[in-house]
Structure 1
Amino acid sequence: MTEPTGDMGEPVLLQRFAAWLQPGPSAEDAERSVFFKDGVIVLDTNVLLSLYEFTETSREEVLSALEQTAGRLWMPYQVGLEFVRGRRSTLESRKRALASAATEVNKKLMAARKAIVEAKDVVCAQLDKYARAQQEIAGLDALVADSDVDAHLDVYRHEFKRHLDMLKADHGLALNSSDAEDPILPRIAKLYGEGVGEQPDDDILRKRLEEAMAFRFPNKIPPGFSDSDKDTPLKSAGDFLLWEELIEHVRQLPPSGRCVLFVSNDTKEDWYEQRSGASSSRPWPSLVDELRRRAQAELRIETPPHFFGGIREFLDAELAADTYAEIERVSEALEVKVPDTPLVVTKETAPHLDPPEGLLLDALNSVGPVSSTLRDSAESPSSARRLFQWWLIGVTAQLGRRVVGEAEPSVDIAAAVRSSESPSGDWAPGTALSPGEWLHRDSTWIAPWFMDLFGSVPQTDRAILRRLAAQQAESNRRSRS
C-alpha cells in the first residue's frame, strides 16, 4: 500500500504538523540571516519602551543598531498606541523607583540611628545597675550624642544620595520630560517612517475582541490568553490585536520570501510553550503554523538579546560589550515580571486611599499614649483626616519608630519643611506658632492640614505631633543636602 504524501513528497502527517515537530528557533539556524536581511521586523511595545531604561550611551548605540533595519521595520497600530501611551508611565515608574529607593535608604539610616541609641541605653543600664559608673555612662552619652551619630550617618547618607543622583542623571532623560523634550520619540518616528499600521475600523476591532474573549482565550489559544483577566477587553486583547494586524499586513505583501521576525521581552506562556522536563521553552508552534496557514509566511520570535546579536552578526552593527550587557540586563528585568513598583502614597492620593487598619494602629501605638481626640482623628473615615493618617504611617516608618512591613506602601507626605521659601502658598510659616512651640520657627513652613489638626488636639498631643514633624523636616533637610 502506498503511503499518502503531500505536495512536497513528505508524509501528510509530518507535513501538516511540521511546526510542532521542528525544534524551536536557535541562534545557529542556517536560515536565520534571511529574517534579518529580507524579513519584516516587528518590535513589541516592551522593546520600544525599554529604550527609556538604557543609559544614554547604550541607548544611542541601540538606536544606531536599529537604524540598520530601517525600511523593514513595521509597527502595528496596537504597538504604536501602547507605545505613545506607555512612555510617560515608564518614565514615572523610574521616577517612583528612584524616589522610593531614596526614601527606603533614609528609613534604614533612621532605624540605624535608633538602634545605636538603644544599644547605648542597654549598656548604660547595665553600667548603672551593676557598677554605678556614672562617669562611664556620661562618656557613652557624649559618644552617642545625637550630633555625633548624625554626623557619622551623614557620611553614608551623602554617599548613597550621590549614587542615586548619578542614576537619575545617567539616563539623559528629564524625569518630567514633556513630548517636546523626549529625545527618543522623534528617533523612533524617523526610524519607522511610513511603516506604521492604520487604526482598524470599529467593526473589525469588535469582531477581533469577540473572537479573543469568546473563543481563543477560554481555549488558551496563543497569543495573549494570559492577559484575559485585565480590567477591560481592549486591554486584555492587546497581544491578540497586534497578532491579527501582523497577519493582515503580511498577507498583503508579495508572496515570494514572506517572513516575519517578531521581537519581544514577553516570554509568558501565552507566547512560549512551557515544556515539562525541557531545558528551555520555545515559541508556540501553533503561532508558526497559523502564520503559514493564513499568510503563507514564516515566523521567527526572538528576545532582544538574541535580536541585537543578530543585528551585530548579519548587519554589521557596532555594539560595544557594555551595551550588549545592558541589553541583556534590561531584557532580563522585563522578562522576569518583577512585582509592580510599590505604591507611593502622596498628598494628592492620600485623601482617596483608606489606610490598612492594622498598619494605622501600629503607627499610632508607636508614638506613645495619646488622647482620645487624636485617636479619633487617627480612626476617622473622613477624607480630610486621611492625610494625617497616612502621614503618621509614613513618619513613624521614616523615623524608625516601628518595624516596616515587607509589602507596606511608601509614603511621601511632609507635615513641615525646613526651607527659606514656602512649598506652596497655603503653607503657614513657623512663626505662626508661639516661640516655645517650634524650633527653627524662622526657617520652617507647616502644611495647612497639619496646622488644622495641631489646633484641634490637647497640648500633650501637640508636643507629640510637633516632635514627629520637626524630626521629619530635619531628616528630609539632611537627605537633600
Structure 2
Amino acid sequence: MTATTMSGDKLDQRPSYGLFDGFEAFRTPSDENFRSVFSAGLVVPDTNVLLNLYRYSSEARDSLLSVLRNLGSSLWVPHQVVSEFWSVRDSVLRDPRGTLALAAELDKVQTRAEKMITDWARDRSLSPATAEDLRSGIEAAFDAAIERIGEFDDGDGVRYLEDSTNDPVVSALDDIIAGKVGAKPSQAVLEQRMATGHQRVEKEIPPGYKDKGKLGDFLLWCELLDEAKRRDCDALFVTSDVKEDWWRRVGEAPRGPRPELVREMRQQTGRALFMVQPDGLLERARSLLNIDVSESSLENVERVQQFEVAKQAGDEWAAEAVAAVLDRLSEEAPVQAQVLRRAAELGGFISRDDVYRIGNYDSTRSLRGFTRPVRRIVQAFQDRGLIPSEVDDLLQAVYDDETVGLATGFTVPRSAMPLVLEWADPEDAPA
C-alpha cells in the first residue's frame, strides 16, 4: 500500500502498512485459507503423523488415510519424512501402543513404591506383617493395572516386521503417496544444509534446535521451503511435535508456527505457512472437504496426541537422573560439576570468565570439548535406558557472532536447574 501526501509542490509517496504486516504469524487462519491450501497448496505431513497410524484405532487410522487420499496433488511428503519413517518404523511396530514400555515403567514405579513402604515401616518400627500387608496391596493394584494394559497390546506389529507387504499402513501409504515424495537431495546439497543446520542449532534458530543435533527437522524444513517455492503456493505443515522450535505458544498451548518460520517462509517463497496437529487436520477436512470423520475417530486421534504431548513433556530431567550424572561427574570431571551447579545458581547461564575462575585455568587454555565429559556420562546412562534420549543437554555451550567460534558461556536447561541445586552440597561451593 502507498500513502499519498503533499509536500510543497511535490507528491510524497511513502509505503504504508497494516496491523498484520510483518506480524503474519499472529493472524488466525480462516476456513478460506485452509480451503485454498487443501485445493491448490501444499499439505506436508511430519514423520510422526505417518507413524501414529500404527497407534490409532482402525477407525481413526482409516479416517486419516481418507483425508490424505482426498488431498490429491496437494499432498506432498519430503524425502526426509520417508527416510525417518523407515528408520523408526521397526521400533514402533515392536510396541505400537506403548503397552510394553508402560508396563516396564510401572514395574519400576512398583519397585520404588514397595521400597518406600519398607523404609517407612522400618523407621516407624512397624511389624514385618504390617509392612508385608501394605506391600501386598501395592503389588495387587499394579498387577491388575498391568494386566488390563496388556489387553490393549497390538500383536500384529511384530508380524508386519517380517513382511512389510502385508502391513496395511504401508500398503495404504504406498498407494496414497505414490509420485508425491520429494527427491533425495544431492550429497553436495545435503552437506551444505547440514553445515547450515549446525550453525542454526548453536544460535537456536528454528526449526530443529531441539532436535538434539540430528537436524532431521531442519532438513525437512529445507525441502518444504524448496517445494513451496517451486510450486509458488502456501503450505500447511501437519505435525504431532509440540516442541518450542516449531510452535508459537500461548502458555503451554501451541497456537501457530513460530514467527521466525512464517517470516522465513515469506522471505524464501513469498507465500504463507500454516500449521496444525493431526486432530486439527481431521476437523478441518471434515468441515471443508466433506469427508466422513466420526467423533470417535477424532477422540482417538486426540488421545494419541495427548500421549505424544505427555511423552515430550516427560523428556525432561528428573531428580534421580541429575543426581546420577552429577555423582559420577564430581568424581571424573569435578570442574564441570562445579560449573553446572554455579550455572544453576546464576539462573541457568555461566560466563566464560566464571568457568576459567572455577577451573583456575590459564587464560590461554581452550574450552573446546569442555562439555564432552558431561555428554559422555549422560550417553552412558541413556544407553542403559536410565535417561530419556530426548532430554536437553545438561550443559551446553553458548556462542555469539563476535566470538569467532569461542563459547561465551554455558547453560543448564530450565527443567534441570532446581534439580542441580537440590543435588549440590553447599560445602563444595567454589570459592
How much has 1:340 moved relative to structure 2? 4.8
- Structure 2 gaps, min length 5: 6-12, 318-324, 329-384, 388-431
Query: 2:40 maps to what in 1?
Result: 38
User: Are 1:42 and 1:75, in contact at CA under 8 Å, matched by a contact in 2?
Assistant: yes
Q: Distance in 2 between matches of 1:274 and 1:321?
A: 27
Following superposition of structure 1 onto structure 2, how do residues 51-450 of structure 1 map, counting pairs within 5 Å? 51-92=53-94, 94=98, 96-101=100-105, 103-104=107-108, 107=111, 122=126, 159-169=144-154, 173-174=157-158, 177-180=161-164, 181-214=166-199, 216-227=200-211, 229-230=212-213, 235-236=214-215, 238-253=216-231, 255=232, 258-274=233-249, 281-336=255-310, 337-340=312-315
- CA change 1:321–1:156 in 2 (3 A) is same
Question: 1:12 pairs with 15, 18, 23, which one?
Answer: 15
- CA change 1:151–1:274 in 2 (3 A) is closer
Please tell me the root mean square deviation across aligned C-alpha atoms, in Å.
4.5
Q: Distance in 2 between matches of 1:22 and 1:150?
A: 58
Q: Distance in 2 between matches of 1:117 and 1:269?
A: 44
Q: Which one-letter code corresponds to 1:286 in the other structure?
A: E
Higher relative contact order (CA 8 A, sep 6+): 1
Q: Distance in 1 between matches of 2:29 and 2:279?
A: 11
How much has 1:339 moved relative to structure 2? 2.7
SS at match of 1:89: helix
How much has 1:221 moved relative to structure 2? 3.0
TM-score, scaled to structure 2: 0.59
Give deviations 1:286-321, integer Å, cap 9, x for gaps: 323333332333321122222111111111122221
How much has 1:18 moved relative to structure 2? 5.0
SS at match of 1:195: coil
How much has 1:3 moved relative to structure 2? 4.2
Q: Which one-letter code corresponds to 1:60 in the other structure?
A: D
Q: Distance in 2 between matches of 1:100 and 1:161?
A: 9
Q: Distance in 2 between matches of 1:21 and 1:327?
A: 31
How much has 1:162 moved relative to structure 2? 3.5
Give deviations 1:437-479, integer Å, cap 9, x for gaps: xxxxxxxxxxxxxxxxxxxxxxxxxxxxxxxxxxxxxxxxxxx
Q: Distance in 2 between matches of 1:116 and 1:284?
A: 49
Bigger radius of gyration among the two = 1
- Structure 1 gaps, min length 5: 125-140, 343-353, 358-406, 410-481
User: Are 2:43 and 2:74, in contact at CA under 8 Å, matched by a contact in 1?
Assistant: yes
How much has 1:163 moved relative to structure 2? 1.0
Q: Distance in 2 between matches of 1:151 and 1:122?
A: 15
SS at match of 1:300: strand
- CA change 1:92–1:196 in 2 (3 A) is same
SS at match of 1:305: helix
Q: Distance in 2 between matches of 1:289 and 1:118?
A: 62
Q: Distance in 2 between matches of 1:278 and 1:117?
A: 40
Give deviations 1:91-133, integer Å, cap 9, x for gaps: 34626414404634764897799799989x9469xxxxxxxxx
User: Are 1:39 and 1:260, in contact at CA under 8 Å, matched by a contact in 2?
Assistant: yes
Query: 1:393 maps to what in 2?
Result: none
Q: Distance in 2 between matches of 1:177 and 1:199?
A: 25
Q: Which has the larger displacement, 43-52 or 172-181? A: 172-181
Q: Which one-letter code corresponds to 2:287 in the other structure?
A: E
- CA change 1:209–1:172 in 2 (3 A) is same
Q: Which one-letter code corresponds to 1:267 in the other structure?
A: V
SS at match of 2:235: strand
User: Are 1:262 and 1:300, in contact at CA under 8 Å, matched by a contact in 2?
Assistant: yes
Q: Distance in 2 between matches of 1:115 and 1:286?
A: 52
Query: 1:48 maps to what in 2?
Result: 50
Identity among equivalent pairs (%): 26
Query: 1:415 maps to what in 2?
Result: none
User: Are 1:267 and 1:335, in contact at CA under 8 Å, matched by a contact in 2?
Assistant: yes
Query: 2:344 maps to what in 1?
Result: none
Q: Distance in 2 between matches of 1:4 and 1:209?
A: 47
How much has 1:194 moved relative to structure 2? 1.0
User: Are 1:291 and 1:297, in contact at CA under 8 Å, matched by a contact in 2?
Assistant: yes
How much has 1:41 moved relative to structure 2? 0.7
Q: Distance in 1 between matches of 2:275 and 2:102?
A: 33
Q: Aligned residue pairs: how many?
A: 316
Q: Distance in 2 between matches of 1:18 and 1:150?
A: 61
Q: Which one-letter code corresponds to 1:22 in the other structure?
A: E
Q: Distance in 2 between matches of 1:184 and 1:12?
A: 52
Q: Distance in 2 between matches of 1:299 and 1:173?
A: 35
User: Are 2:79 and 2:183, in contact at CA under 8 Å, matched by a contact in 1?
Assistant: yes
How much has 1:28 moved relative to structure 2? 4.2
TM-score, scaled to structure 1: 0.54
Give deviations 1:147-203, integer Å, cap 9, x for gaps: x9999889757643441221104x853488334353312222211011011111111
User: Are 2:229 and 2:269, in contact at CA under 8 Å, matched by a contact in 1?
Assistant: yes
